[in-house]
Amino acid sequence: MITVDCRDIPSLKSPLAVYTSDQVGAMPALKIHEFVLAPISDEDVDSGLVIKAIKSFLESLSIEKHFAVVQKKNMISVVAIDDYKLEVRPTQPTDQFFSCVHCGHVTQFEAVHNNHMKIHYL
C-alpha cells in the first residue's frame, strides 16, 4: 500500500485519488488529509507509476511548477514549493463517496450505492 499526503492540496484530494487509482490500477481509500492506494492483485502498487500519475494530474491543471512530489518509503507527499494558493471550490454534498465493502465499487450517489449493494445479497 502507498499513502499519498495531500495536505497542501486539500481541494484536489478526491479527484487526484480517482485519477491516480485509475492510472495505476489500485483501489483508493480516502482519509482526512491523504489517501491510500491498495493493490487489486497480489502485486504491490508501483510507486514510480503513482508519482508519474500525480505529476501528470498536476500538469493537466497547469500547476506542476508550484508543487513537488516527494517520496519517503511508502509515503508520497505533494508539497507546495512557493506560496501558491489553490482556489478552494465550495464544498457540496456531491464531494462524498459511497464505497462497497464487498467489492470496492465507489459512487457519489447514495441511491446508486444502495442499488449496487443489493446485487451482493441476491
Q: What is the pLDDT of residue 24?
A: 92
SS (H, E, C) 37-52: EEECCCCCCCHHHHHH
Q: What is the pLDDT of residues 71-88, one digit of tens each?
A: 999 999 999 998 877 766
Question: Using the 8-state DSSP alphabet, how is residue 109 labeled?
Answer: -
Q: For 4-24, what is each residue's pLDDT tens digit?
A: 999 999 889 999 999 999 999
Q: What is the mean pLDDT of residues 58-64?
A: 91
* Cα four-point dihedral sign 34, 28, 31, 115: positive
Q: Of the ranges 46-55, 60-69, 73-82, 93-102, which one carries the lowest mean pLDDT score?
A: 93-102
Burial class (CB in 10 A: 0-12, 13-18, 19+), 102: exposed
Q: Position of cell 441511491?
A: 111
Nine-digit cell at 111?
441511491
